[in-house]
Amino acid sequence: MIKGRTVEDWYGGDYNQDSPRKAVHIYWQKAYDFLKKFALGKSRGSFAIGETNKEGRPLRLLDIGCDNGMLSSRLKQLGYDVYGLDIRKKEVAMARKLGIKAVLGSAEKKFPFQGNYFDAALAGDIIEHIYDTDFFIGEAHRILKQGGVFVVTTPNLASLSNRVRLLLGKLPVGSEIRLGSDMAGHIRNYTFPELESQLRQHGFLIVKKVSSNIMFPVRYNVPFKSLAIKLGDYFPNIGSHIIIAARKG
């Protein structure tokens, strides 16, 4: 008999075993590139960076679900003053050792930060784990300054590969039926139009959207990998991952 667990037990455990590899995935790189342009002010018009930081200080960024701080530390190298939020004590401690201002807390509850405090926020592959996604997006909006950027990544239910899987009667990648050792704990599924609409409903303006790649898994060296990655920029709606940069209007 398969024994289930509560969602709270799952989030409290080490459910992200392959985070060191995820940090170098191309969908992380594309999210990173958004935030790099924002930090350098190269997209001044789109991101309205001049409205977010008038104090002459480093831009504050919150990595929601910061894990062990690997990605956060890369963002810190861009000059961000990086904060982190994670539910696991061990990962918070590891992130702090990397110089991240990480705090222990749940992304499903009110974030332990004051409103209008951050210039940027990153939700890397976390929204699919959230029960009340409206509350989650609302909290991201609350803690961001006017003009601040919110970068969200999540698996794409409508990817080309998932459409093929459905035609064959198979479960789409990213959709899960239980909290098992071979599962990632996903309870939400998104397509580009749905996430864009939800972000707009909470006062965000969509700045940019891309996908990591078309069809081919990005972690393996497969034929046409570079082409598949590039096609993710031009045909995001059928790409494997949703990557959206939105601005607080």
Cα 213 to Cα 114: distance, rounded to the nearest angstrom = 36
| Candidate from 15-19, 98-102, 209-213 with smallest mean pLDDT | 15-19
Question: Quick count: other Cβ atoms within 10 Å of Cβ 214?
Answer: 22
The larger pLDDT score, comparing residue 47 to residue 154, is at: 154
Q: Quickly name the fold that domain 7-13+24-244 has.
A: Rossmann fold (3.40.50)
Taking CB atoms within 8 Å and a gap of at least 24, the contacts of 32-36 are 32/71, 32/74, 32/75, 34/149, 34/151, 34/208, 34/243, 34/245, 35/61, 35/75, 35/78, 35/80, 35/120, 35/122, 35/149, 35/151, 36/78
- Across residues 41-70, what is the average pLDDT? 70
Determine the pLDDT at residue 238. 93
- Whether the Cβ atoms of residue 7 and residue 55 lie closer than 8 Å to each other: no
- Across residues 97-123, what is the average pLDDT? 96
Does 157 have pLDDT greater than 50? yes
Does 128 have pLDDT greater than 90? yes
